[in-house]
Amino acid sequence: MDDLIIVGGGPAGLTAALYASRRAIKTLVLAKNYGGQAALNSNIENYPGVESISGIELMLTARNQAEKFGAKIADADIESIIKTESRFTIKSTRGKEYSAKSILLALGRVSRKLGIPNEAEFLGKGVAYCATCDAPLFFGKNVVVVGGNNSAVDAALLLSKIAKQVYLVARRDTLTAEAVLINSLRLASNVKIIYSTVVESIHGHDFVENITVKHLDTETTEEIITDGLFIEIGYEVKADFLGDLVERNEKGEIIIDDYNHTSLPGVFAAGDVTTIPFKQAIISAGEGAKSALAIYDYLVGVKHN
Ligand SMILES: Cc1cc2nc3c(=O)[nH]c(=O)nc-3n(C[C@H](O)[C@H](O)[C@H](O)COP(=O)(O)OP(=O)(O)OC[C@H]3O[C@@H](n4cnc5c(N)ncnc54)[C@H](O)[C@@H]3O)c2cc1C
């Protein structure tokens, strides 16, 4: 039996593994895709200490660092976690069982996809899901933002300061973002809001060159020439397999306190899967480090609440 099983191999999980193994906590990391969302970015420029690095390389280095200090790392898609008297038992979809004294849930989240042709092929070649991360790559260019909620309007505002022209394509005939954000957006002279419209397809050779949109009210289509397509239609937490093991909010995020405790003693959570605001690689890494220190305290009996 391990002291700690970390489910998730993104910035939160791998940083927790590094910190836990340096505290001599017997640690096993289980994940289906190592690197998590960070590995999807071919050029991370806002991780302190490294000016520019591919997400895969950053995460591979973090993985090697954790293994160097003794963390064990394995591939597994986890489908259930059960608490018994003195331990937690974890089961993978392949029927393998693991058990540990404590659990860290670092499951991250996934961007909602439009589900249109070429969306996956153009990821990192004009298609983006994170304006905070990728907006600087579109300096002086034309971009389209899809969505009408806070994150879409926020992305359009950010891009209006960087790009030449921004189109905000919203499915509804109104934006659902907060009024203060919408008012700021209306003041931006290089933003055009296109209501009641959906993106149908993406075109280009190596990079995005144009998209086809459909206006729902007139049933007509139009081509928009653009260098980038920011899809800002929200994120999904995929943690339903947890059942009612730990408390979650209405978005499905795991509720944690300052020490990354969940509602169930012995189960901790860190990173994008939790209720913390601002989801970024450095924030998840920091939360992973914090949770490992809190888990150490739990294992040696130091109480924080
Ligand atoms: C395209 C893109 C670009 C980005 N660029 C940047 C950037 O430039 N800078 C920045 O700071 N942030 C960026 N972000 C955000 C950043 O990547 C995330 O905030 C960060 O990766 C979250 O880390 P995490 O460890 O909490 O979760 P994730 O990275 O989502 O990792 C979750 C891990 O859990 C595993 N997992 C989930 N469910 C299970 C299960 N049932 N069984 C086993 N394993 C499971 C996954 O396989 C994965 O290993 C970007 C995000 C995206 C989508």
* Structure confidence by residue, pLDDT tens digits, 150-173: 889 999 999 999 999 999 999 999
To the query of whether residue 240 is one of the catalytic residues in this protein, the response is no
- Do 242 and 220 share a domain, yes or no? no
- Return the H-helix or E-strand segment holding 228: strand 228-231
Residue 198 shares a structural domain with residue 262: no
The span from the CA of 296 to the CA of 305, in Å, is 15
Judge whether 194 lies within some domain: yes
CA of 132 to the centre of ligand 1 (A): 14
Residues 175 and 76 in one domain: no
- Asked if residue 121 belongs to a domain, the reply is no
To test the pocket of ligand 1, the residue of 37, 54, 57, 63 to mutate (highest count of ligand atoms within 8 Å of its CB) is: 37
14, 44: one domain = yes
178/264: higher pLDDT: 264
Q: What DSSP string describes 77-112? A: -EEEEEE-SS-EEEEETTS-EEEEEEEEE----EEP
- Looking at the fold, whether 99 and 197 belong to one and the same domain comes out as no
* Whole-number pLDDT of residue 276: 97
> How far is Cα 208 from Cα 125, in angstroms, rounded to an integer?
6
- Residue that is last in its domain, among 193, 216, 231: 231
Give dist(CA 288, CA 299) in Å, integer: 16
pLDDT tens-place string over residues 224-257: 999 999 999 988 999 999 999 999 999 999 999 9
Q: Ligand 1 centroid vs 291 CA: distance in angstroms?
A: 17
| Interval between CA 215 and ligand 1 midpoint (Å) | 33
Domain containing residue 102: 2-109+237-300
**Residue 210 near residue 228 (C-beta atoms within 8 A):** no
Q: How confident is the model at residue 41 (pLDDT cuts 50, 70, 90)?
A: confident
The answer on pLDDT for 1 being more than 90 is no
Identify whether residues 253 and 175 lie together within a single domain.
Answer: no
Q: Which of 2, 75, 77, 134 is catalytic?
A: 134
User: Is the CB of residue 148 below 6 angstroms from any atom belonging to ligand 1?
Assistant: no
Quick one: tokens of 228? 């980038």
Q: What is the mean pLDDT of residues 112-133?
A: 92
169 and 145 share one domain: yes
Helix (H, G, I), strand (E, B) or coil at 8: coil
Give the domain-ending residue among 231, 266, 282.
231
Same domain, 152 and 290: no
Q: What average pLDDT does the segment 193-202 reach?
A: 97
Chain-centroid distance of CA 57 in Å reads: 17
- Separation between Cα atoms, residue 10 and residue 151, nearest integer Å: 22
Strands lying side by side in the sheet with 220-225: 197-204, 208-215, 220-225
We report the CATH number of the domain holding residue 180 as 3.50.50.60
Phi, psi of 60 (to 5 degrees): -65, -40
- 226 within a domain of the structure (yes/no): yes
Share of the chain above pLDDT 70, in %: 100
Is residue 122 in some structural domain? Answer: no
Residue nearest to atom 27 of ligand 1 (CA): 108
With b meaning 16 or more CB within 10 Å and e meaning fewer, what string describes 59-78?
beebbebbbeeebebeebeb
Cα-to-centroid distance, 103 and ligand 1 (Å): 18
From 180, 209, 231, the end of a domain falls on 231
pLDDT surpassing 80 at residue 75: yes
Planar angle of CA 209, 215, 220, nearest 5 degrees: 90
Confirm whether 272 is a catalytic residue. no
